Amino acid sequence: MSTGTTPVRLLDPDSVAELTAAARTLLTSYDGSSTHPGLLAEAPAAAASLSDRIRHACRPVDTADGLFVLRGLPVDDAALGPTPGHWSTVGDAGAVYDVVLLLLSTVMGTPIAWEGQQDGRFVHNIVPSPGHEAEQTGASSSVLLSPHTEDAFHPGRAHLLVLGCMRNHDSVATTAAGIRNVRLAPADVELLSRPVLPILPDDAYAEAQAYQGEPPPVPTLWESEDGLTLRFDPAYTPLDRAPDDHRAAYGRLEDELSRVSVAVSLSPGDVLVVDNDLVVHGRVPFQARYDGTDRWLKRSSVRVKGRLTRPPAEQSEHGYGQAAVEAHA
């Protein structure tokens, strides 16, 4: 794994002031609640009024790395309060950052929420939680969170994943690997472009895991209009069902993604934007203390209208009964 340079886009002080002022104005109108339906309805208009400087900083991913960091937002560690032990106890802690992330996400596209995850919030809180240390979810800590496409099981998954760092005293690294940086034989690409195996819902979606429909086989790789694209989650892909040649090709893809993987250690205020069609992400293991000082990220998911990066066959998938909700005015 490399610790190579991740593209960074700086938010200048005027842009930061503009963003935080817009967020605080919205929060003041809705009693400080970042999840109030009225605030969610007004967010698109507030985002539309933001300056061209902010829009330029939020322009599409423009390198083969498939990601960038927005830097410049200040985070007051003391005012933030202790890292909660579970997402459900966060309440409106860090609400201004929820709204800032929502505004940035709305400039980039259309934020989505999942009915079956974190009570349908548009901005999730990613914190280590007691009893979940060894899971393959964002609540884990003691194990490697395997590189994966966010919500890979679902055809309505985000095009962009946005991770805002609130606290990271231990410099815990997010890992990222771009499919367009790998070297694969054409025969492997062809094999992995066949819909052989399903991707099952992860442990954050209990209702989806109980869905009774037949899991649809999906391709791991395909060529979109602008290059190779992937849908990848080995922790929830039943590889033991695959023919030997397919399993071997999948293993070579895993090895290549590992080879080109970079470690991104986010600092408070950093916002990592990941192209979910090009990049798999994960996290290195760490020792959670549960003393209020652990790593804390906020996460939003964004769809980009008109983006032609998904195979048409995905439109017929059942999505394991899960529905994504879009933020609309």
Residue 240, domain member (yes or no)? no
Q: Where are the alpha helices (DSSP H) in 30-139?
A: 37-48, 52-57, 77-80, 95-108
Is 75 in a helix, a strand, or coil?
coil
Number of H helices, E strands in the chain: 8, 14
Tokens at residue 253, please? 């893809």
Tell whether 225 is covered by a domain.
no
DSSP letters of 224-285? Answer: ETTEEEE---GGGS-GGGS-HHHHHHHHHHHHHHHHH-EEEEPPTT-EEEEETTTEEEEE--
Assess contact for 92 and 23: CB atoms under 8 A: no
Cβ neighbors of 209 (< 8 A, separation 6 or more) are: 200, 201, 203, 320
| Cα(183)–Cα(187) distance, integer angstroms | 12
Contact 232, 178 (CB under 8 A): no
3-state SS, residue 52: helix
Q: State how far the alpha carbon of 217 is from the alpha carbons of 36, 101, 116, 272, 282, in Å.
A: 38, 34, 22, 31, 23
Q: Is the pLDDT of residue 115 over 90?
A: no
283 assigned to some structural domain: yes
Task: Tell whether the model's pLDDT for residue 206 goes beyond 90.
Answer: no
Q: Dihedrals φ, ψ of 293, to 5°? A: -115, 5
Angle of CA points 98, 99, 103, to nearest 5°: 125
49, amino acid identity: S
Is 97 among the domain residues? yes
- Which residue type occupies 113? A
> How far is 20 from 18, CA to CA, in rounded Å?
6
Q: Which domain holds residue 81?
A: 8-174+265-304
Cα(81)–Cα(79) distance, integer angstroms: 5
Tell me the pLDDT band of 329, cut-offs 50, 70 and 90.
very low
- Rounded to two decimals, the pTM is 0.95
Instruction: State mean pLDDT over 188-204.
Output: 95
What is the spatial distance between Cα 21 and Cα 14, in angstroms, rounded to a whole number? 10
Domain count within the chain: 1
In a domain, 192, yes or no: no
- Domain membership of residue 67 (yes or no) is yes
Residue 114: predicted pLDDT:
92
pLDDT interval class at 1 (50, 70, 90): low
The dihedral over CA atoms of 296, 274, 181, 143, expressed in degrees to the nearest 10, equals: 30
Is residue 92 one of the residues assigned to a domain? yes
158-181 pLDDT, tens digit each: 999 999 999 999 999 999 999 999
- Is 93 inside any structural domain? yes
* pLDDT tens, position by position, 60-99: 998 889 999 999 999 999 999 999 999 999 989 999 999 9
User: Which pLDDT score is estimated for 77?
Assistant: 95
- Average pLDDT on 271-284 reads 97
Q: Write the CATH number for 146.
A: 3.60.130.10
- Decide the pairing of beta strands 324-326 and 110-114: antiparallel
